[in-house]
Structure 1
Amino acid sequence: RKRIDWRFIDGQLFVLDNFLDSLRVYPKEVPGLRPDSADGIALRNQMLEEMESQGGLSRTITLKACVSVPGALEGETVRAWLPIAAACRQQSQVEMLDMTPEGVVAPANASARTASWVSSTDRSFSVTYRYHIDAAYCDIYGGALPSHPCMDAPLPEETSEDRPHIAFTPYLRQLTERVIDGLEDPLDCARAIYDYLTQHIDYRYQPPYLLLGSIADDCAHSLRGDCGVMALTFITMCRIAGVPARWQSGLYVAPDSVGPHDWAEFYTPQTGWLNADVSFGSSARRMGEEWRRRHYFGNLDPWRMVANDRFQAEFVPAFDGMREDPYDNQMGEVSVNGRGCRRREMLRTVELIEMLEVPFSD
C-alpha cells in the first residue's frame, strides 16, 4: 500500500529503522499492529478544550536538559550546546536555575538559543531552566481576530527563499497558485495553504534532514513528511503567496512526555504574527477531529518550549564542526576536538521538572 518509505543506497533497498512508528500512525490500515496509547490524546484534548473555552492558557515550566559523550578520550576538548528557552512572542521570564559550571548562555533573542560549554575534563553537561509561556486562543475560522496582535514588522528574509530547503521551485509556484486561486486577502491565502497541507499530507518519520533534498518541494510531490517538513512546506508556500512566514521549533512539553517539535509563524496586516502547526493539523484530520485541525491554524497551546526562530540558524558561539542536524536544534549538539558527534555518540535527554498552571494573561 506504499506505506513504507525506502531509499536506494548503492543499489540496495533500505527502509528507516523506525518505519513501524510510521505505520503505527495508521492502525486501521495495518490490522494487528498495536496503536499508540490514547491516554495522552485525551489529556491533550482536555487541555485544548479548556484553552478554547477560557480564551487562552498559561504555564510556568521547568525543564532539565542533559547531553553527554561517554566515548570522548582523556585530554580531548569537548564542546557542547543545549537548546534553552528564548525570549519570543509567547515566552517570557526565562531563568537559568542550575547548569554545569563555566557554561555560556546565548543572548535571549538568539535565533538558535543555547547554553554551551568548552571542557577538556567534563563529558556530561546539563542546564535547568524555567520560563513562562502564554497561549492565547482566537477562532480564526470563525472570523475572530487577536485582541492584542503582535505587529512586529516582518524582515525581508521572511518573504524570500532560503535554499536549499525553502526554494521557490516551479512546482511549488504552480501548486501555490492553484491553492490560492482567486484569493487576495493574506489571511485567506494562509488559511487555504494550511487547509490544503493538513488535508493532503500524511505523517511519516524522516531520515536526518541532512540526507533530504529540497525539503518543501519533495514534500509537495510526495505528500508525506514529519513536523519540520510540513512546517517548511507551509512557510515556503506562504512566502510564494506573499505572506511573510518563519520557523519556530523546540519542544512539545506534555505532562507525560517531552519531545522535539517544529511549527511555523505567519504574518498578516490584520492579525500580526500567528502560529500554524501543520503536523498537528494533519494528525487531527487523520483522527477525524475537525475542531482540532482548525485550532492549530492561528493557535498553538501552552505545552511548548521555543528555542529557535529560524531554520538553518547558527549557534552563538559558533559550532566548530559538522552538526548532527545543521538545520534545527532541539536536543543538543556536541563536538570533540572539532569533529561534530553523530547521534549514536551522544546521550541526550530532556526532563520535565515542573509544570504549573498559572492565570492566563492575554
Structure 2
Amino acid sequence: MTLSAAERFARLRLARTDRIGPVAFSQLLGRYGSAVRAVEALPDLVRKSGAATLPPSSEAVERELAAGDRLGARLLVLGDADYPQMLAELDPAPPVLWTRGRAALLNRPAVAIVGARIASAGGQRIARGLAQQLGQAGHVVVSGMARGIDGAAHEGALPTGTVAVLGGGVDDIYPPEHADLYARLVDQGCVVSESPIGARAQARDFPRRNRIISGLSRGVVVVEAEIRSGSLITARLAAEQGRDVFAVPGSPLDPRARGPNELLRQGAILCEGIEDIERAFTTLRTLREPPSDPLAYDGEIEDAFLERVAALLSPTPTPRDEIARAVGAPSAQVAAALLELSLVGRAELLPGGLVSL
C-alpha cells in the first residue's frame, strides 16, 4: 500500500509529538488505523489530565520539510515502499528517518562495525581492514561516524558503500573534525537520522542511534570497547533484535579489550577476520519474528481503570501481559490504558512490550 501525502505528513507530525516515541506511535496506528485519525484523536485522549501532549502545528512540520528540501535530504516514513526492511521488522520500528546520500544502501545486506572513540592504531587498522573486506564481499558497513573505530570503518568502506547513523539531525556534523568524512559519506555513502533537521545530538539520542545501527545490520562487530560503553549497548540491542554479535579479542592488558572479551564470555562470535562473519551468516539462524499488528481497542477507558493500571507500574520495566494478568483485563484494553498514561507522562512505553513509570 502506498501512503498518501496526507498520511505521510500526519506520520511525521505524530512522530514529532512530545511523549510519543516509537512504541506509542505503533500503538496509535494500531488503535486508529492511520496517523491522520490518530492526530485528530490526540486532544480527546489527553483531555482528562489537561496535559499538553498535542501534535506540533502543521506549520512546524512544514518548516521541517522545507529545511529537509533546502538540505537536499530525503524523508523516509514507516510504510513507504523504500523504508529499510530490516528496520521495519523491529518492534517497534523508527517512525521516520531523514537521509542524505544513497538511500538505496539502507536496503542492502549490511554489517555494523563499532568500537572505542579513543581507539588504538591496531584497532583502527582492524576496523578499516574488516570494512574493506566486507565491502568487497558485497556488504554495506554501518557505523556511527564517531571518532576512532567508527571513523576507520567508514573510511574502509567508502568505495563500496557505508551508512552513518547520527544521533542529532542528518545535518549535525559531530565530531567537527569529521566534516570531510561527512561530506564524502553524503557523496559516496548515506547518512541517516531519526532526529529532526537541525537537531543537535544529546546524550539521550545515542541509544536510539545505536538501535538503528544494529537494526539495519545482519550482525554487529565490536572491535574495541570498554565495559561501560555505547558499543556494548549496541551489541546488547543487536542480540535483542536477533542479530549476530561478533567480538574481536584483545589483550587483557588493554582496557579497550575488556568489552569484546566480556562479549566473548557471554557467547558472542569470535571474529578474527571476515571468514568468521561469513561463516556465521551461512549458518541457519532465526531472526526475531516481525512484529504482529499492534493491539487495537475501540472502547472508552474509564478513569477508574486507568488508576488501577497505573497502580501496578513501577520504575522497573514490566511486561505488558503481566500487568494485564494482574488487572484481570484483556491485553488490548490494558495496552490502550498504558498508551493514555504515557501520553500524560505517567508511564513510559519501552520496546519488547515492556512498560515502566
TM-score range, shorter chain: under 0.3
Specify which structure has the bigger relative contact order, considering alpha-carbon pairs within 8 angstroms and separated by 6 or more residues. 1
TM-score by length of structure 1 reads: 0.25
TM-score by length of structure 2 reads: 0.25
Higher helix residue share: 2
Higher strand residue share: 1
